[in-house]
Structure 1
Amino acid sequence: MERHPDPSDGRAVLVHITEAGRRVGRSRHEDRTRHLAPLIAQLTPEQRQSITEALPALTRLAELGRARR
């Protein structure tokens, strides 16, 4: 990650994700997928559908949590 002063607002900082940061993010995502996929496979189709239907609400919760920081 790179940080630079915002040229239009001295109080702010602009953040840029580097390629190394992208690789770390992809690696973590792949690790979570590898861990969760076998667990999700053990759920019933109805349980998987329930998770799918809950995703919009869960996404909104994550957005609200980020906004509070």
Structure 2
Amino acid sequence: MALSETQLTALRNLAAKKAGRPVDFINIADARALTEFGLAARSREGWEITAAGQAALAALPDGS
């Protein structure tokens, strides 16, 4: 699976959100695409990164 730059940015923002850091706006279309890939999920609190999303970020060459 290849993520677009905007999807990757959204995934990084979701990881930062989970870590308790403030994040920029998360594009809904990108978040929905991440959900389809199993990398994010929608909850009452908004979009959240999944374990698969965290693993995908850790697998990147820069480990982000």
| TM-score of the aligned structures, taking structure 1 as reference length | 0.29
| TM-score of the aligned structures, taking structure 2 as reference length | 0.31
Instruction: Select the structure with the greater relative contact order (CA < 8 A; seq sep ≥ 6).
Output: 2
Task: Please identify which structure carries the higher strand content.
Answer: 1
Task: Please identify which structure carries the higher helix content.
Answer: 1
Select the structure of larger CA radius of gyration: 1
